[in-house]
Amino acid sequence: MIKALNTAFIQELREIKSSWYKLSLLIFLPLLCFALLVGIFYSGVATKLPVVVVDNDKSSLSKKLLFNINASPTLEIKYKVLDTISGINLVKSTKAYALLVIPNKFEKDTLLGLQPKVTLMLNTQFVLIGKMIKAALIEVVTTASGEVEYVKHLIEIKNSEESLAKTVPINLQVTPFFNTYKNYFFFLVSALLPAVWQIFIVIGTLVSFGTLFKSKGEESFFSKEHLFMSIVGKLLPYTLVYTLLGVAVLIYIYGFEGWIFQGSYGLMLLAIFFTVVAYQAVSLLFFVTGFDYARSLSLGAVYTAPAFAFLGVTFPVSSMNSFALFWRDLLPISYYMEIQISQSNYGVNPFMEIDKLLYLTLFSLLFIPVYFRFKQRLGR
């Protein structure tokens, strides 16, 4: 039994060594994709987002408002145009993300307390960027309004402290948990890397078995007496390497990048290993349905590619419909991400994660129909 496992393991190592394609899927391509994602999101915080402005007032107050907008780290006034149509065209051509229109008599109406309306037009196709621009502009306009109120009260009261207290009677302090600096690198990359990782697990597994059956070498490879151990031996190099890749991702995010990890690394190691095994079981199930290499790759792509959208990171799980929740339950990565988030952010007691680990291990039951399909195929 052990001999069959060792034979299959060593034979697969030789196959990997002689195949640049398998070696790339195991090491080079995952690392390249990881590096690409890290490079794209490394800045973490979006800055100097271009906006276009129509200043119909051209007063000292409107100029002060534009100066404050430019002083914001999030925004940059890239264009100043004379009419709204020109501004809208710039937004439509994606040269700017938003259009700000300052009305006529802006300064006069402000000083008279008539509350003039500054119009903001956003390109809502860019949801995240739109929210950031809106939040930054609200902060700038609110600050400018407070300055005007402060000056008015200072003229009446002639006391700076009393004027400030009257302008801002309630002071609100907002302290965000877990992502204090609102860094999108931590928010997105910590989920994107595992989402890409699971794609390579499925592709690597399917390529390993698909190329063997395509070349009609299955009978010489598998031991009919110890078929299951031969399957395990063939999977083992991929299991070990993809587990190490998962560990490397975890160490990079919470080690080299300095984000605080609150929970148990031992539990995360178990979760990584069971996630790899779960995806290998699912991959083989796709393959043995018809032993069709090309079709199994297509099924694997359909299964793994949209997984990021169902992780509950960019879209809350509580707002998902029944089909989305059903599809999410079919993805081992969703249980892994629940463990990663609860351990990294909250430091949840490892015993409270047993149910998620159990769900991951249940995917291993798919090896039962896989084994019988292999046995049936080799029997022919």
The count of other CB atoms within 10 Å of the CB of residue 310 is: 22
By DSSP bridging, strand 98-102 and strand 119-122 are: antiparallel
Query: Is there a contact between 8 and 229 (Cβ–Cβ < 8 Å)?
Result: yes
Pairing type for strands 49-55 and 98-102 reads parallel
Q: What is the pTM of this model?
A: 0.79
CA angle 199, 201, 207 (to 5 degrees): 100
311: tokens are 């992780």
Contact present, 295 and 301 (Cβ < 8 Å): no
* pLDDT for residue 239: 96
Residuewise pLDDT in 10s, the chain (380 residues): 788 888 889 998 999 998 899 999 999 999 999 999 988 887 767 778 899 999 888 888 788 888 888 888 888 888 888 888 888 889 888 888 889 888 888 778 777 777 778 888 887 777 777 778 888 887 777 776 655 554 454 445 555 554 445 444 445 555 556 565 567 777 788 899 999 999 999 999 999 999 888 888 777 777 777 888 989 999 999 999 999 999 999 998 888 766 778 889 999 999 999 999 999 999 999 999 988 999 999 999 999 999 998 988 878 888 889 999 999 999 999 999 999 999 988 888 999 999 999 999 999 999 999 999 988 887 76
The confidence score (pLDDT) of residue 167 equals: 46
Rounded-to-integer distance, Cα 380 and Cα 375, Å: 9
What's the per-residue H, E or C state across 222-266?
Answer: CCCCCHHHHHHHHHHHHHHHHHHHHHHHHHHHHHHCCCCCCCCHH
Q: What is the pLDDT of residue 170?
A: 47
* Integer Cα distance of 139 and 164 in angstroms: 17
Q: What is the pLDDT of residues 56-71, one digit of tens each?
A: 888 887 888 888 888 8
Q: List pLDDT tens digits, range 260-298.
A: 788 899 999 999 999 999 999 999 999 999 889 999 999
CATH 3.40.1710.10 domain position(s) in the chain: 49-167
The side-by-side arrangement of strands in the sheet containing 75-81 is 75-81, 49-55, 98-102, 119-122
User: At 50, which helix (H) or strand (E)?
Assistant: strand 49-55
- Check if the beta carbon of residue 229 is closer than 8 Å to that of residue 1: yes
CATH top-level class for 49-167? Answer: alpha beta
Task: Give the pLDDT confidence of 107-142 residue by residue, as tens digits.
Answer: 787 777 777 788 888 877 777 777 788 888 877 777
Burial 29-38 (b: 16+ CB within 10 A, else e): bbeebbeebb
